[in-house]
Structure 1
Amino acid sequence: MPKVIYGDPDNTLEGDPLTLILTASELAAAVDMDATIRALESSLVDQAHGTATQPAPLSMRLPDADSRYLVMAAASAPRGLVASKLLSDIPDNALAGLPTQRSSIVLADRSTGETLALLDGRVPTRIRTAAMTAVASRHLARPDSRVLGLVGAGALAVAHVEAMRAVLPIDTVVVWSRTAATVDSFRQAVEHHGLEVVRAEGLPELMDASDVVCTLTPSVSPIVFGRLFGEGLHVNAVGARPRPDHRELDAEAMSRSRVVVDSLETALAKSGDLLLAVEEGALRVEDVAGELGQVIAGSVAGRQSREQVTLFNSVGMGLQDLAIGRLLFDAAVERGLGLKVDLSA
């Protein structure tokens, strides 16, 4: 049985490395959204310059259930880490009142291979997803965008408000959800930001009012349509499950936009928004402008005019988990959070 160690600020015991185990509540206490945005932005540049790398995610399934198990990995020289996340996507959990997605992240020292930490994946995934949207919006949306449209009003929507306010002068949020109670809970969760929050009766109203739209639903079929896109809009497609046959946006939405992805290899493995639009002939893979890291590094153009519609196809990357994992691990060590275990015992 592994030894549990308390009161060891250097995270070692007689030369043996210890593994730090961090729960969701401990990770929530260590979150710094501004720092996460900066870390993700620089990590994408590292990837564009070749000092960080990640393979396409591995997606596994068994024949007896509609469940997927994804392994997302990355390595970064500047951050001194190798990381991997196991994401279990189990829709049937909803029938039992359980989370439909669960994940855990392992961080290892890239030089020695020591397992530094095991993190519950819920908080890092939510925060890095919102921070990634903010990075994309900083580089693709019109810089004077003030009205944020949110398709969905759950915990991810709350995180998006904080992240987007860090990069754009947002003063109004227009939000749509199928239930009024969800919108009421969202309103209470973001009221400390002092924003005007408007409940949209339908998606046409939301699209017409917004400068930037984030789609945050686990939709299987399109609920956002390209015919509703106005000039100058920026869309962040975030919510669809990591499956090639699930999507939130129709093919016209993809074809009308300048599309930027976080990772093309990952998008081609698990983005239904992109893959189904290609399958339907609305656009070609070659029509994708490039990866967000390339836009930030200056090798690919982002928004080319004020009138252009831009779209960030967010599918999730192991490098994002690595970047936020580095921040959370360092903050936890500094604050003395977590449980230290000697796995070699």
Structure 2
Amino acid sequence: MKPITLKVITLEDVETIFKNRTDMIFDIVIDAFKKYINGDVLLPDKISQIFDNSTQNRINCMPATLFSEAVSGLKWVSVFPTNAAVGEPNVTGVMLLSEIKTGFPIALIDGTLCTKIRTAAVGCVAAKYLAPSKVKKVGFIGAGEEARMHCVLLKHLFPTINTCRVASRKHSTEIDFVNELSRCMKDVSFIDCEGDYSKAVEDTDIIVTAISAQAPLLKANAINKGCLYIHVGGWEDEYAVAQKASKIVCDDWEASKHRTQTISRMYKEGLLTDDDIYANLNEIIQGSKLGRENDEEIIYFNSVGLSFIDINFANEIYKQAQEMHLGRMVTLAGLNDTDYSIFL
């Protein structure tokens, strides 16, 4: 029997791989979409086990296969919005990667940091095509880890950003957001808005909601012309926001329409149809649909999270770990046949 081994790659290993290589993060997202466009992706439905409909505490199983890379994998990710109230991370996860010649597992990879990176990177790739021509002011509803990752990656993508406003349910979280990010973004003026969500987003070029609130916190009258809205979570904006948008773009509308996000709710209630969705992001990347056409458009970008992007990240992390001698090898099954006598 051939030994079955896999490489365990920790969060710290993932940090080492991406340190000072931020552009690689965006490249992985774009490469994943190109694989999808070329038919190199097998994308089963995401399985979401929701334990509480009111809080949306859930665990998602997100599988995908990349035929061109000869790998298959899944991300097992928990999303527990109630954790924030007790100071615990609300998103944790692991990724399992297998090769598809024998089906053997090859890597077990931290999925917590990678989820934050992937989610923010998809929003930023969308922003490359959908943001206004001059991005100087950004506004955040939510001040947790996902909001912070979006802020850092947006600043990398748009060095012209000079103002960042943030509002959260707890003022202390806003202060933590400001204190942490102002240390590494010294040319940005940070404004904590003391829970005033409208103040956080007024007169901004890009809005990000990342709060897991399950409530319509973002109001349409607070959004100015030319704004890009990056919708990250579930139900965070009133229906009028989508109705005000010039274009609604999704990472994937079919994957979104039966979920619990704002536009998914609108679809189920008959307030939004397939025809109201302008494009999926891959259509804009490949050029079959235009992105932003002028600085008057209000563009709504909806991100649900696509497993083939996660698996593309997992595969690239695995390859980089091999090259950089990171991670730890573990033997799951050795050379010996099973000793059945132990069960007697």
Do they superpose with TM above 0.5?
Answer: yes
1:166-216 deviation digits (Å, cap 9, x = unpaired)? 322322212112333222222232222222212235222222221001101
CA contact (8 A) 2:28 2:312 kept: yes
CA contact (8 A) 1:140 1:234 kept: yes
Q: How does 1:261-340 map to 2 (within 5 A)?
A: 261-340=250-329
1:49, CA displacement in angstroms?
Answer: 2.7
The corresponding residue for 2:155 is 165
Question: Residue 65 of structure 2 is aligned with which of 75, 79, 94?
Answer: 75
CA contact (8 A) 2:81 2:212 kept: no
**Normalising by the residue count of structure 1, what TM-score does the alignment of the two structures yield?**
0.86
CA contact (8 A) 1:254 1:283 kept: no
Cα 1:53/1:165, change in 2 over 3 Å: farther
1:76, CA displacement in angstroms?
Answer: 1.7
Higher mean alpha-carbon deviation, 114-123 vs 17-26, is at: 17-26
Cα 1:211/1:185, change in 2 over 3 Å: same
Q: How does 1:16-55 map to 2 (within 5 A)?
A: 16=3, 18-31=5-18, 32-55=21-44
Question: Residue 131 of structure 2 is aligned with which of 141, 147, 161?
Answer: 141
Cα 1:94/1:145, change in 2 over 3 Å: closer
**Normalising by the residue count of structure 2, what TM-score does the alignment of the two structures yield?**
0.86
Question: Residue 112 of structure 2 is aligned with which of 105, 113, 122?
Answer: 122
CA contact (8 A) 1:40 1:131 kept: yes
Cα 1:271/1:302, change in 2 over 3 Å: farther
1:42-84 deviation digits (Å, cap 9, x = unpaired)? 2112212322231221223569997533211112234442121
CA contact (8 A) 2:77 2:92 kept: yes
Higher mean alpha-carbon deviation, 302-311 vs 72-81, is at: 72-81
Q: How does 1:207-286 map to 2 (within 5 A)?
A: 207-240=201-234, 247-257=235-245, 258-286=247-275
Cα distance in 2 for partners of 1:60, 1:291 equals 26
Count of residue pairs the alignment pairs up: 326
The corresponding residue for 2:199 is 205
1:160, CA displacement in angstroms?
Answer: 1.2
1:228, CA displacement in angstroms?
Answer: 2.1
CA contact (8 A) 1:142 1:306 kept: yes
CA contact (8 A) 1:84 1:106 kept: yes
CA contact (8 A) 2:7 2:327 kept: yes
Please list every run of 5 or more consecutive structure 2 residues that lacks an aligned counterpart in the other structure. Answer: 335-344
1:295, CA displacement in angstroms?
Answer: 0.8
Please list every run of 5 or more consecutive structure 1 residues that lacks an aligned counterpart in the other structure. Answer: 1-13, 241-246
Cα distance in 1 for partners of 2:239, 2:206 equals 19
Higher mean alpha-carbon deviation, 145-154 vs 70-79, is at: 70-79
The corresponding residue for 1:4 is none
| Identity across the alignment (%) | 24
Cα distance in 2 for partners of 1:151, 1:93 equals 18
Cα distance in 1 for partners of 2:51, 2:189 equals 46
Cα 1:66/1:145, change in 2 over 3 Å: closer
